[in-house]
Structure 1
Amino acid sequence: MGRAADMAAARGRARTAVVVLMLVLAALLGLLWKLWSSSSRDRVLVPSGRFWRPWPDSRAFWNREQQRLDLLYSPIFHPNGSLGNRSLTPQDPCTADPRVPTQVSDYNTLPRRFQDFLLHMRCRSSRLRISPPRGCGGGNGGGNGAPFLLLAVKSLVPHFARRQAIRETWGRAGVVGGRSVVTLFLLGDASPADHHPALQGMLGEEARLHGDLLQWDYRDSFFNLTLKDVLFLQWFGRRCRRARYVLKGDDDVFVNTPRVLQLLAGLDQVQTQDLFLGDVISAAAPHRDPQLKYFVPESVFEGSYPPYAGGGGYLLSGELALRLLAASRRVALYPIDDVYTGMCLQKLGVAPQRGDGFRTFGLDAALRGNPCVYRSLVLVHGCSPQELMELWPWVEQPARDCQ
């Protein structure tokens, strides 16, 4: 009897162990499923290599900043969304970061514009000086509802002629083919340090007349274009989150708006979810020549760039814009805005798609003078206000003969 009782007890313990193991496995599977399915906007990707892979050792300042953000936003170390110890960051992220001069090895030899960027690269906020009176509906014919297409144009305060040419051509807002189109111009501050005259009074009159300006009070420089993108995404998330599509572009581009609307009309919901079209650049790396506009020193960034679309202009869905807003919080600001957008897309696991009609590097000289070429394109970079006014009638009146 004793031996039989012992065997029965052993079988009972084995059954208990199996039940406990099954419960543990079920809990782990449930947690993995929750992480995967809770939000399509922040989906956890299954790793293709070793799971516990150490961060590569780097002396580059941006890479170390990104490692810090990866740790703070890690769903493993902070599963409830807590961002851990914030003492690693300055108390006010918009004040100059005192660590930079000592942690960037060649800081004292960098151009002043680069020093300024590094000192303030953690700043993601700025006071809004001018905003459209009707919010996302704009003040230029878009109405009060959410637009089908939002044309968000990066501009500079002195570029009055460029903005007016866009209003009279491809950025003419209203209802086009039954679809509402709204145009907004994104601006920073024209700093006297950049040798700009006092133009804020004229800008205020322009805003009163057209109601299509968004202006923040940060210094509008080349390296702050990334901050402009982040501030726009924040505004979009608060005031325009129901817009179906967004076309981001510079104020020296030509956009074939009817062709854009035609392209969007043929998309289904699945195609819309990850829609990001542009002139895609792959296998790029930082320029190391200090004389070049896109120079980034090794002390700041190591590695290659993810695929990204040329910043002259790209098209994306409103849904993806909101996901980019979430991703931008987890990516350290980078001094080149289109590369930064590519980094945010990579964080989402979204690959930018090449759009055949996007020419963000302009056209060959032999083609520039032929208006018929522009009918088949979506976006061309490097156009003057005079060229826009000359080209637009050929797009607006397709009955014109093109041989």
Structure 2
Amino acid sequence: MRIRIKAEVFCTLLLLMALGTLLYTLFRPTTKQDVQPLHKPKKLKTPPPTTASAKKYYDSKIRVGKAKLLSEIYNAGVDSEEVKATIPTVVTQPPFDFQQYLKGKDHRNFSLLINQPNKCTKPSGDTFLLIVVKSIVEEFDRRESVRKTWGKEGMVNGVRVRRVFLLGIPRNKTTVSLWESLMQQESHYYKDILLWDFLDTFFNLTLKEIHFLNWAEAFCRNVKFIFKGDADVFVNVENLIHFLQNHNASDDLFVGDIINHAKPIRSKKSKYYIPETMYGLGMYPSYAGGGGFLMSGVTMKKLANACKEVELFPIDDVFLGMCLQRINLKPVLHEGFKTFGITKPSAAPNLQTFDPCFYRDLMVVHSLKAAEIWLMWNLLHSQQPPCSQKQRIKKPFRWKKKKPFQFPPHF
């Protein structure tokens, strides 16, 4: 009995010693070398750069407006904290550098990198309508949409229609890799690209205007009429041709969505801001909205000469209005040109503006996506017209006159 109690006491002491050793092992202070994780943790941050990569990064000059993308810096092995300390604060630039514009505004002759000298001569036959579309290198999908819908070349309603696109050098060449080769291939395939070597910016649209007029005078002198517009417009070419066939091609013609009595915008926050030092008058001459307009070949030749005598202006629509004023030609308003889009009447909230019935009797509708242009073209040229004669839009929405209230006879 006594021996059994001693054995139990001895076992208890051994267990207490083992427990004490385990507790000491768990709670004693440890060093970094003692901790060995079971699994390697996932790297949330890029490891510090090597000496070579760090030297390569710090030797590179980072300037305002030319700072590297964060993704590029991470790929170079630079920690985010180093990026914050290295990249200077980007200074907000004004929307337009008027001083630089005034210094270079007399430079108006740029080289033609891609030309279509035979556009209006081959195949044989006079060009009745030349479709001219302002575009940029990146918008291949919009050019393709125009080519396959309203901008098709060939015979339309018995007259010949041709097409060209106006482009400049992309402002950010890295957005489209190998853009020069792509443009050459597109031009070889479609033969409708005109590319000049000025930067394709909003305020250089005036350069597109004068360079196209010079090109048309040199290579398309016999064209009867010209439609010039943007790549995001829908054009009912059949309506344009029907309208033009009632006009003499030897007369002056300039038709569109004409804007009269427009005042220069003096707010610096506006995209169209013009300081008084650049234009001191209180009103612009009448001009056409740039979404699209029509002119005769005779007017084109006169404008080409007049624009050489007018100082360049950063808003191309207004500049062309100045050239029209120079030749004493007043532009004509046509209700079929909707260069500001179709506005749904407030009195008819259930009216669907994206409806073929709206487009059947119009000339030009601005601000459409490429897919919408495809859809509208196919709807209008389907075998079964979607609109009946009663549904067709003949004139803009008008409020109905209310009939005077009459009391009932028994009142």
Q: TM-score, normalised by structure 2?
A: 0.67
Name the counterpart of 2:354.
369
Residues 379 and 386 in structure 2, CA contact (< 8 A), matched pair in contact too? no
Is the partner of 1:263 in helix, strand or coil?
helix
| Distance (Å, rounded) in 2 between the aligned partners of 1:358 and 1:326 | 27
Residues 131 and 213 in structure 1, CA contact (< 8 A), matched pair in contact too? yes
Residues 114 and 223 in structure 1, CA contact (< 8 A), matched pair in contact too? no
Is the partner of 1:183 in helix, strand or coil?
strand
Name the counterpart of 1:297.
275
Residues 130-160 of structure 1 show CA distances to partners (whole Å, capped at 9, x for unaligned) of 11262324xxxx7244310000101011010
- Judged with a 3 Å threshold, the aligned counterparts in structure 2 of structure 1 residues 263 and 123 are, in CA distance, closer, same or farther, namely same
Name the counterpart of 2:98.
114
Which is greater in Rg?
Answer: 2
Give the gaps of 5 or more residues in structure 1: 1-108
Q: 1:3-402 alignment to 2 at 5 Å? A: 111-132=95-116, 134-137=118-121, 143-192=123-172, 197-268=177-248, 273-303=251-281, 304-364=283-343, 366-397=351-382, 399-402=384-387
Is the partner of 2:306 in helix, strand or coil?
helix
Name the counterpart of 2:41.
none
Residues 117 and 219 in structure 2, CA contact (< 8 A), matched pair in contact too? no
Letter in 1 for 2:165: F
Give the gaps of 5 or more residues in structure 2: 1-92, 345-350, 392-411
Q: Structure 1 runs of 4+ off > 6 angstroms?
A: none
Residues 118 and 219 in structure 2, CA contact (< 8 A), matched pair in contact too? no
Q: Which has the higher helix share?
A: 1
Is the partner of 1:246 in helix, strand or coil?
strand
What is the number of residues matched between the two proteins? Answer: 289
Residues 225-266 of structure 1 show CA distances to partners (whole Å, capped at 9, x for unaligned) of 011100000001110011000000011111000000011111
Is the partner of 1:248 in helix, strand or coil?
strand
Which fold has the larger relative contact order, with Cα–Cα distance below 8 Å and residues 6 or more apart in sequence? Answer: 1
Deviation (angstroms), 1:369: 1.7
Is the partner of 1:151 in helix, strand or coil?
strand
Deviation (angstroms), 1:393: 1.9
Deviation (angstroms), 1:113: 4.2
Letter in 1 for 2:328: G
Is the partner of 1:214 in helix, strand or coil?
strand
Residues 261 and 285 in structure 2, CA contact (< 8 A), matched pair in contact too? yes
| Distance (Å, rounded) in 2 between the aligned partners of 1:312 and 1:401 | 26
Name the counterpart of 2:76.
none
* Identity in percent: 39
| Distance (Å, rounded) in 2 between the aligned partners of 1:111 and 1:293 | 7
- Judged with a 3 Å threshold, the aligned counterparts in structure 2 of structure 1 residues 301 and 147 are, in CA distance, closer, same or farther, namely same
RMSD: 1.9
| Distance (Å, rounded) in 2 between the aligned partners of 1:354 and 1:160 | 31
Residues 114-138 of structure 1 show CA distances to partners (whole Å, capped at 9, x for unaligned) of 344222211221111111262324x
- Judged with a 3 Å threshold, the aligned counterparts in structure 2 of structure 1 residues 262 and 399 are, in CA distance, closer, same or farther, namely farther
Residues 155-183 of structure 1 show CA distances to partners (whole Å, capped at 9, x for unaligned) of 01101000000000000000111100001
